[in-house]
């Protein structure tokens, strides 16, 4: 996809949150098509460095093309859980000045029917961010127990009719396997009907299955801990989330690290009764303004949070 058609969300706010130093070393943990990476590079001097990660081979190829013309950029093909290993391979024991996460699925992934993320155009029912490994959505839906399917739809999609949809999927696969996004979208729409104006009835189901197939919440939890270990004192952690479950994980992680651990009551200690603080919250959560939402409707649900590593 043409880079011009992919609009990075909260671009200026993310770069501001990173508080970029000219000679700093930064991680863009979700390269996508490089919108945030380009902005970071533009703010860096000749001695600055960026390590960009992505689990999507198409994104990695786009990153390698950009890195070929800029020696300050390195690309690693890995999921979030490989963050620390990729950083050590690139920077050894050095610490990072900032780590940026732009969560969820990218516009190029959604817009290409053959990737199987969306339902507006029919394509193979895949949904893997890295189609070279793991189980596709079709493979899982055609073998999983009805109760497991219902649990995924309920827990990751907050779908109230999860049990009815799961039962319909199991009935359908007895006749013939589900293999296309259009088949799944039609099946869910048939169960639910069109109840919400402007929102396809299969939205929550597709989202839930995608999150499960890619273990997105597990990857996020692992990566936040790794980012904390990599950041130098004063380094910034910036996270853009698009889903309430993601944002809840980020918010709780930053809050817990900022509060530290409470010491037992009545312990004879001087000063604060909490220890182990590792982060300082920077400002309040940030949402896209009306202008950005008008230009890029995907920004409507985006939430940006920033924290700074303590010594």
Q: Which two tokens stand for residue 228?
A: 């904390």
Confirm whether residue 36 is marked as ligand binding.
yes
Q: How far apart are CA 155 and CA 175, in angstroms?
A: 27
Closest by CA to 24, choosing from 103, 101, 102, 99, is 99
Phi, psi of 159 (to 5 degrees): -90, 120
Q: Which two tokens stand for residue 44?
A: 């860096």
Q: Which two tokens stand for residue 277?
A: 């603080």
Confirm whether residue 80 is marked as ligand binding.
yes
Classify strands 25-28 and 96-102 as parallel, antiparallel or unpaired: parallel
- Is the torsion defined by CA of 272, 274, 279, 281 positive or negative? negative
Confirm whether residue 63 is marked as ligand binding.
no
- Is the torsion defined by CA of 259, 263, 264, 270 positive or negative? negative
Helices (H), the chain: 11-18, 35-43, 57-67, 83-91, 107-111, 137-141, 146-157, 162-175, 181-192, 203-213, 216-230, 244-259, 290-295
Confirm whether residue 155 is marked as ligand binding.
no
DSSP state of 133: S
Phi, psi of 280 (to 5 degrees): -120, 125
Closest by CA to 54, choosing from 35, 85, 77, 82, is 77
Confirm whether residue 35 is marked as ligand binding.
yes
Binding residues for S-adenosyl-L-methionine: 34-36, 54, 80, 102, 109
Annotated binding site: 34-36, 54, 80, 102, 109
């Amino acid at each position: 996809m043409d880079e011009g058609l992919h609009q990075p969300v909260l671009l200026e706010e993310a770069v501001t949150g990173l508080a970029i130093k000219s000679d700093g070393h930064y991680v863009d943990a979700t390269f996508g098509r490089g919108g945030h990476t380009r902005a970071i590079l533009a703010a860096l001097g000749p001695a600055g460095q960026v390590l960009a990660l992505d689990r999507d081979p198409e994104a990695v190829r786009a990153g390698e093309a950009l890195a070929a013309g800029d020696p300050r950029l390195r690309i690693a093909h890995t999921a979030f859980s490989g963050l620390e290993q990729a950083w050590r391979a690139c920077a050894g024991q050095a610490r990072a000045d900032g780590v940026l996460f732009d969560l969820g699925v990218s516009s190029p992934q959604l817009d290409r029917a053959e990737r199987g993320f969306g339902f507006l155009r029919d394509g193979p029912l895949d949904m893997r961010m890295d189609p070279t490994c793991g189980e596709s959505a079709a493979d899982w839906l055609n073998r999983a127990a009805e109760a497991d399917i219902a649990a995924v739809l309920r827990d990751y999609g907050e779908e109230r009719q999860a049990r009815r949809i799961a039962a319909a999927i199991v009935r359908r696969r007895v006749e013939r396997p589900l293999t296309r996004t259009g088949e799944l979208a039609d099946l869910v729409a048939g169960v639910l009907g069109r109840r919400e104006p402007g929102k396809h009835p299969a939205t929550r189901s597709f989202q839930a299955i995608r999150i499960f197939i890619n273990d997105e919440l597990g990857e996020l939890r692992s990566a936040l801990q790794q980012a904390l270990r990599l950041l130098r004192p004063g380094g910034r952690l910036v996270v853009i989330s698009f889903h309430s479950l993601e944002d809840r994980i980020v918010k709780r992680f930053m809050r817990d690290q900022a509060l530290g651990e409470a010491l037992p009551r009545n312990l004879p200690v001087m000063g604060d009764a909490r220890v182990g603080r590792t982060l300082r919250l920077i400002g309040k959560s940030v949402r896209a303004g009306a202008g950005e939402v008008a230009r890029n409707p995907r920004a409507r649900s985006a939430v940006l949070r920033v924290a700074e590593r303590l010594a």
